[in-house]
Structure formats: structure tokens, C-alpha cells
Amino acid sequence: MTTQDAALTLAQRLADSIRSRLIAGELKPGQRLSEATLSSDLDVSRNSLREAFRLLTKEGLLRHEPNRGVFVATPSMASIIDIYRVRRMIECRALEQAYPQHPAVARMQRAVDTALKCRAAGDWVGVGSANMAFHAAIVDLADSARLNAFYAQIAAELRLSFGLLENPEFLHAPYVDLNAAILEDLKAGKAQEAAGALETYLERSERTVLAAFARIGEGERRG
Amino acid sequence: MTTQDAALTLAQRLADSIRSRLIAGELKPGQRLSEATLSSDLDVSRNSLREAFRLLTKEGLLRHEPNRGVFVATPSMASIIDIYRVRRMIECRALEQAYPQHPAVARMQRAVDTALKCRAAGDWVGVGSANMAFHAAIVDLADSARLNAFYAQIAAELRLSFGLLENPEFLHAPYVDLNAAILEDLKAGKAQEAAGALETYLERSERTVLAAFARIGEGERRG
DNA sequence: TCTGTCAAGATTGTTGAACGATTTTATTTC
DNA sequence: GAAATAAAATCGTTCAACAATCTTGACAGA
């Protein structure tokens, strides 16, 4: 898979590793990451770990409080709203101006197919991943490396929020068919309609996520 | 001004300092930044400097080639095209959906006023800065912290490209009046028209920058 | 009991040196 | 002149140390 792992610098590999654990929910929001503890756990020097921390802080996955340490970023309603605002602006516009022959359309198709297969198998985590891939492919339509990188960051942040939410079926299942419909529109040359559908879609998704987030917020406040 | 400078970590202050020198053109694109040399020049340890490098690399201002060193990012036609693509998507959309009472409108106004004043005084660098502030204010209209941060990065990258170009008058002067016109449209509630004007504006600016870039490219190839 | 003070302990911030790994430069050889 | 080799320079990474800052807990006083 990821050959030439050795070509990457240790800090990058560390960042990758920690990012995975963040997205997987192993590291909980708000949790402090001790330099001494983590560096000895991962068997690397504090300096290398600090470089990785700087990377992940720039990505918005960690928060750095000088002299206090780094913490797993804590998603908030504000951050979710912000992220969805960005998504609507980027994804809808990318879709709107897309042409059906774009290579990213094939990627969208694969994502939809995968999602359908996973849904049939009851693999909701797989459905979630496929949906994320679908949206990344939409951004690809805009043909901008910087936009892709930015979106990847936003997506990782959002996955941090999803990690807080249980019930992935509820969170991802409804969107498989909507994704398929959007793809059909696009392939039929109806980019404008696809964009409109996506806009509605994202608003709905935002409401769902915010509502779920509000619920767990209540629970934690009294827990 | 920037009080609590001590509150920031050394790596951040280093990154700020280096970023300034990059934007000011003191450090030339393609130039290699030696860890040993820079750390002794700035009187900091290599480790701290490396943390700063990771930060600036994430921002796209430096390029890191493992085992070879870090280099000042080299703007290319591709990067300029990419950046303008992003700008059109973000700025035009932000403007389109803006309402005239938004606080960022006041910032746009101040930027226009400053630009007019600087132009009258023949201060083209000042005009350039004011124009940049105008566009940053446009992005502010979207009310997204992440979008603002992303745009700040893009803008810094673009300034790196501008640094290569001589003749700031030619590069910035024509846009002062266009900015003023866009602002008037927005204040008059004609957001749609403002967005359209900005789209045209950015296309023109892109052509200008690309052409200037192509010229210096030729010159360097035979120089 | 509560509050503020202060010392002790823990953690981060930063440095300098060290050494293996990789790249670049210089030298030698054919 | 090109290929092979040795030497030098640079990056990658670790380690140990200490200063600066934050946290904890004991303690005195209201």
C-alpha cells in the first residue's frame, strides 16, 4: 500500500498515525496528549513528536496551549456550523461547474457503488467512508490541489465530530440514495440541479449532526 | 501592536518572522534554507527552527524535500491558476451571499479609502496591501473562521508570486476603482452584480499576473 | 470551612551536542 | 569524458539538561 513509508519524515509518519487514532476515536476530544508519555509510548523522541504536533495543530485536529500542552480538538456547534458552511460553498460550487466527462465522476461512481454494497452488508462504517469519498470526489471536480487539501482537512475535522456520535447507520445510511441521485443528475448534464440537491442534502445533514451533537452535549453536562 | 509576543511559542514567532521575509521578497523562491545557517543566524536551535519549518511547509510557503532540505516555494503558472480558481470560488460566492449591513463591509470601505489615499501619494506598495485587505474583507463576509484562515494562506502564497513581479503600480493600480465599484454595488444591495464584477475582475487579474509571470520566466530561462 | 500564599513537583520550552543516514562534492581511475 | 569511489556537508533523530511555566498540595489565617 503506502510504500516508501521510509521516504516520509518521522514527524509526518507520526502525524499520520496520530491522525488515524484521532479519527478512529481512540483519542477523545479534550484529552491532553503528554509529550513525555506519548513519546515513550511511540518510542520516538520528544522533538520529533513536537514536530508532528505542530503539523496536526495546523490541521485543526489538535489544539496547542503554550506551556500547557496539546489537546485533542473539541468539536463544538460553532465548528460544525462553520464546517458545513464551507462544505456548502465548496462542494455545491464544484458540482455546479462540473462537466460529466470529468475523471472525478468515475470516482463518485465507485464511491456510490461501494456505499450500496456496504449498506447491503450492513457495514455502516464502510458506508460512512464511501460517503466521505463521494464528497471528496465532488471537490475533485473543481480541479484545484489547494481546494482538495483544504477539504481533506475539513473532512478530518468533521470525522472527529462524527466520532462523538453513536449510531453511524442513522448518520450515513439516508445519504446513499441521495448521493446516487446527485451522481445521476451530474451524468445527465444537469449540474445545476445536482448542486441544488446537494445544497438541500448538506443542510439536512448539518441539522442531523447538530441535533445529535446537542443531545450528547446535554448528556455529558449532566453526566 | 502584537503584545504578548512572549505568549507565542518560539516556533510560531520564527514562522512569523520567516513568513515576513518571504513575503517581503528577502528570501527568493527556490532558495534553500539551511538549518545550520538559519538557526545560527537567528540564534535559535535547529530543533526550534525545524518546528517553524513544519508550520510554513503546511502553509505552502516552503517545500520540504526529505534528506535534502527546505526550499522557498517556487510559484508556477499552475500554482497561480490554482490560486485564482480558489479565489473566484470563495470570494465571488462570499460576496454574492453577503448583506450590506455585515461588519466586514466597513473593513472593505476602509481598505478602499486607504488604497485611494496611497494611490494619490504614489505609494504602490500601500495600494497593494490595501487591495489585499479588501479581498480578505470580502472573504470575511462568509463568516467562516476556516475559510478566513485558508484564504490568508492562499493570499500569502500569492504574495510570494507577486514578489517575483516588478512594477507594483501596473499590478495593483487598475483595481482600486474596481474595488470601489464593487463596494458600491454591495452597499446598494446589488450583491449579485458585485459578484459578477468581481469574477471578471479576478479573471483579468489572473491574466495579468500570468502574463507577467511568463515574461520573467522567459527572461530567467535565457538569463 | 473557606481562602490566599507558598513551596514542591510535574510538564512544556528550548538548547546543544552527538551520531547514523543520505546527499552532494571532489577525486581518482579507466 | 564518463564512471566509480572517497570525503565533506547536511539532514534526521535522539538524548540529556535546564529554564520557564503550570499544577498540586500543604498550610496559615480569617
For residue B11, pLDDT over 70 is answered with: yes
Please, which residues 37-76 of chain B have a Cβ atom closer than 8 Å to chain A?
A: 47, 50-51, 54-55, 58-60, 64, 66
- For chain A, the maximum distance between any two Cα atoms, rounded to a whole number of angstroms, is 56
- Mean per-residue pLDDT of chain A: 92
Q: How far is CA A139 from the centre of its chain?
A: 13
pLDDT band at B222; cut points 50, 70, 90: very low
Q: Which domains does chain B have, with CATH numbers?
A: 5-72 (1.10.10.10), 77-222 (1.20.120.530)
The pLDDT, as a whole number, for residue A4 is 45
Residue A4 CA to residue A193 CA, distance in Å, equals 43
Q: In B, which residues are within 8 Å of A47 by CB distance?
A: 47, 50
The pLDDT, as a whole number, for residue A218 is 65
3-state secondary structure of A48: helix
The answer to whether the C-beta of A32 is closer than 7 A to strand C is yes
The pLDDT, as a whole number, for residue B3 is 36
The pLDDT, as a whole number, for residue A15 is 97
Average pLDDT over residues A198-214: 93
Query: Could you please report the per-residue DSSP string of B139-179?
Result: HHTT--HHHHHHHHHHHHHHHHHHHH---HHHHHTTHHHHH
The pLDDT, as a whole number, for residue A221 is 45
The pLDDT, as a whole number, for residue B171 is 83
* DSSP code, position A14: H
Residue B161 CA to residue B168 CA, distance in Å, equals 12
The answer to whether the C-beta of B51 is closer than 7 A to strand D is no
What residue in A sits closest to B10 (Cα-Cα)?
A66
